[in-house]
Amino acid sequence: MSASVSASVSDPASGAAEDRPLRIAVVLGSVREGRRGPAVAHWFLSTAAALDPALEFDVVDLAEVDLPLVLPGWGGTPSPETVAALRDVSPRLAAADAFVVVTPEYNHSFPAALKNLIDWHSREWQAKPVGFVSYGGLGGGLRAVEQLRLVFAELHAVTVRDSVSLHGPWSGLGADGVPLDADVCAGAAKGMLGQLAWWARALRTARTDRPYAV
């Protein structure tokens, strides 16, 4: 999936930090056949572009990222195939000022492909904010989000308090991928994006002034 409002990735250190538009990597966490993730992400991107045209988005679709499940041992060297896969995705995560994770809820948790992407990276997440757009069943994916908050805290990322939760998307989304309760969902997106942008600007300035030390 490619985003209609995505931006090219350039050197994150170029230009004054406070003058650059915020770069937000939108990670699609599901790789399941018949997934609703792309429709949910398309709605979110369209809504976000209308709310804040100054934001730049880059969609990282895990269905297009071929990372192995076996990680090298401590001090080990990834295979050439893994290096090639990381060469595409890792710079995009590193260049992001913030992240939005679009995730369903599978068995009271989040998809394995999403955990695999997270585990293949470390510094890319540090001292950056993460927002969530979740979907699935009566809980709207909230149990997946709560578990992801614990994971990102371990990686020194900051998760914003408000999230976008789409309950029962198989009946709550129209054929065009737009939520049937569009006004309520757009309001939730506005709240989450406002918090995400505040943290993204504050932490980007902080990282520029003083590199984050783990």
pLDDT in tens, the chain (214 residues): 444 343 333 344 445 556 789 999 999 999 999 898 999 999 999 999 999 998 999 999 999 998 988 888 888 888 888 888 899 999 999 999 999 999 999 999 999 999 999 999 999 999 999 999 999 888 889 999 999 999 999 999 999 999 999 987 666 777 776 788 888 899 999 999 999 999 999 999 999 999 998 7
H/E stretch holding 58 reads strand 56-61
Say what the pLDDT of residue 9 is.
35
CATH code linked to domain 23-28+38-66+83-209? 3.40.50.360
- Chain position carrying tokens 């003083």: 210
Report the C-alpha gap between 129 and 140 in whole angstroms. Answer: 21
**pTM beyond 0.85:** yes
- For residue 177, the number of C-alpha atoms closer than 13 Å in the C-beta half-sphere is 13
- Domain residue ranges of the chain, discontinuous segments joined by +: 23-28+38-66+83-209
Taking the CA atoms of residue 167, residue 55, residue 7 and residue 33 in that order, the dihedral angle to the nearest 10 degrees is: 0
